Chain A
Amino acid sequence: MKCASFEEMVQYLDGTSTPEQKAALAEHIAGCRDCAALRDRVSATAQAIAARPGEFCDPALASDVLELVRLGQAEPRPSLWQLWRERLRWSWVPLAAGAAAAALVLFVVDTDDGEFHTRGGAESGDAWVDLKVFRATATGYQPATQAIRADDALAFAYANQSRDRYRYLMVFARSEDGQLFWFYPAHVNVDSDPESIAICGDCATTPLPEEIEHPLPPGLLRVYALFSRQPLRVSAIEARAAREWQAAGAAELPRLSIEDTAQRQVLLQVRRAILDASRAE
């Protein structure tokens, strides 16, 4: 027999060659140094990936899953789209009423100095916009209305009925201890200074694309949505937040005094991660 090809050696070691082929190759290997070396090489490569006995045996996995099932963490949930569709049926009444009231008091003054200014009635645009927060779980999304867990990934949806007035959005959160957590724009590089994301100027509830997880500290968390006409920089908002919210707790945050923006806030209670909490009980 001539020397084995790589494929034939794999089949030999995998036990998928015919008994005749196997016997012939075994006999050949006994007298061929090259084929013996090839056999050892193929075998070592396969062994490198193989699991060691018990390497992935984790008896606690089943009990952890069953505990989470018991705690209601695996109940079927509607998808984000279903939630949004459902929400749309109800969200128009207060949104429309708010927008009508806002139109009575709104006025706009443009400035050229590039600085932020507070203007009378600037809050009125708030009624045209909305932010919804969802917590992602194993199988879908749940509206985050009051409490979330520290290890929850969060997803967001916005509504913008401003008829192209606001075209940019920032979503961030401030914890009780004063830390800022950025969701949109993503602030992944400390040396960068990203700006607001572009959004649809006139649309009903619209999902933002990602689930985002931050190491949130337990306690109150104020999620903040900032809609603007022009893109804003993260550094500008952080500086302003540091100045204006210096003494404020998360429970009561004054509106940021930034000209021609619409702002929405959602207050959440962050609890300990689910497994940490259940084990501590």
Chain B
Amino acid sequence: MAEQERKLHLVPGAEGRTLGDLGDDDLMLLVKAGRKDAFETLIRRYQEFVFGFAARFLGDRSQGRDVAQDVFLALWAERDRYQARGSFKGLLFTMARNRCHVTARGRRTQRTKLDALGIDPAARPTAPSEPIDELVAAERARLVQSKLAELPEKMRQALILRYTNGLQLDEIASVTCSPLGSVKATISRGLKRLGRLFEQEAQ
């Protein structure tokens, strides 16, 4: 049976509460009514989730931020179509993942162009004064990203949601619409495979 949309009503008692106290669906109800302060509350609540997922998924902080911005703009534009079913986070995740795919496709084209010119987009000039710790951290981050990118998408996705975004297993199952057992197995297999890739790199 199709899931029914929750009926939402702003009751007088809710007026004394701050926006931060309201749930996602309640905030979206206000957003649908054009309340930008409610929209801002939602952005602040989920920007780290969307930005973190997209940046890790794409392996590029700047592109991850663009995706996050794009997701929230689309959310505002499509606010009238939002259905309150208690799955706001899942919606954000789906929007972010789809936009990551589009970005990754565009990047492949760009990569081809830059290859022809002999330019490495990852190579960025390093200031001589950059502390050694930051250089090591940056190098390590590049290694992690390159190894993550070698994993199958579902595995990478589950690992990012669990360890970058800090979602609980049942939350991951909910946002990815996957059975809990399958999420557990995917994460376990993913960690094993990623660990092996790190070991191979170290040898």
Interface pairs A-B: 10 shortest CB-CB: A138-B73, A56-B52, A139-B77, A74-B73, A49-B163, A62-B43, A45-B195, A74-B76, A56-B51, A189-B116
CB of B70 within 8 A of CB of A138, answer yes
B69 CB–A CB distance under 8 Å: yes
Of all chain A residues, the one with the shortest Cβ separation from B79 is A76
A241 CB–B CB distance under 8 Å: no
Of all chain A residues, the one with the shortest Cβ separation from B40 is A62
B56 CB–A CB distance under 8 Å: yes
Question: 16 A–B contact pairs at CB < 8 A?
Answer: A6-B191, A46-B191, A49-B163, A50-B166, A56-B52, A58-B65, A61-B47, A61-B65, A64-B69, A65-B43, A69-B39, A74-B76, A75-B77, A138-B73, A138-B74, A139-B74
A73 CB–B CB distance under 8 Å: yes
Query: How many residues in A have their beta carbons less than 8 Å from beta carbons of B?
Result: 42
Given A56-B52, A66-B36, A191-B116, the answer on whether A10 and B73 have CB atoms closer than 8 Å is no
Complex CA–CA separation, A42 to B163 (angstroms): 12
A30 CB–B CB distance under 8 Å: no
Complex CA–CA separation, A213 to B194 (angstroms): 34
Residues of A within 8 Å of B69, CB to CB, are: 61, 64-65, 68
Complex CA–CA separation, A191 to B112 (angstroms): 12
A55 CB–B CB distance under 8 Å: yes
Complex CA–CA separation, A11 to B80 (angstroms): 41
CB of A190 within 8 A of CB of B55, answer no
Q: Digitize B131-166: 1 where CB-to-A-CB distance is under 8 Å, 0 elsewhere.
A: 000000000100010001000000000011011111
Q: Write the residues of chain A forming the contact surface with B, with a CB cutoff of 8 angstroms.
A: 6-7, 10-11, 14, 16, 41-42, 44-51, 55-58, 61-62, 64-66, 68-69, 73-77, 137-140, 186, 188-191, 213
B104 CB–A CB distance under 8 Å: no
Residues of A within 8 Å of B44, CB to CB, are: 62
CB of B163 within 8 A of CB of A16, answer no
B200 CB–A CB distance under 8 Å: no
Of all chain B residues, the one with the shortest Cβ separation from A60 is B65
Number of CB contacts from chain A to chain B under 8 A:
122
CB of B77 within 8 A of CB of A7, answer no
Complex CA–CA separation, A6 to B194 (angstroms): 13
Of all chain B residues, the one with the shortest Cβ separation from A187 is B113
Q: Digitize B67-101: 1 where CB-to-A-CB distance is under 8 Å, 0 elsewhere.
A: 01110111011101000000000000000000000
**Interface positions of B from 165 to 188, Cβ below 8 Å from A:** 165-166, 169, 184-185, 187-188
Complex CA–CA separation, A50 to B68 (angstroms): 19
**Interface positions of B from 22 to 52, Cβ below 8 Å from A:** 36, 39-40, 43-44, 47-48, 51-52
Q: A10-B188, A66-B40 are in contact. List 17 more A-B contacts (CB 8 A).
A: A7-B185, A16-B169, A41-B195, A45-B195, A47-B163, A51-B56, A55-B52, A58-B47, A62-B40, A65-B43, A65-B73, A69-B39, A69-B76, A76-B80, A139-B74, A139-B77, A191-B116
Residues of B within 8 Å of A188, CB to CB, are: 109, 112-113, 116
B16 CB–A CB distance under 8 Å: no
Residues of A within 8 Å of B77, CB to CB, are: 74-77, 138-140
Residues of B within 8 Å of A41, CB to CB, are: 195
From residue A59, how far is it (CB to closest CB) to chain B in Å? Answer: 8
Complex CA–CA separation, A46 to B70 (angstroms): 29
Of all chain B residues, the one with the shortest Cβ separation from A48 is B144
B12 CB–A CB distance under 8 Å: no
From residue B64, how far is it (CB to closest CB) to chain A in Å? Answer: 8
CB of A51 within 8 A of CB of B191, answer no
CB of A50 within 8 A of CB of B164, answer yes
B117 CB–A CB distance under 8 Å: yes
Complex CA–CA separation, A189 to B163 (angstroms): 39
From residue B76, how far is it (CB to closest CB) to chain A in Å? Answer: 4
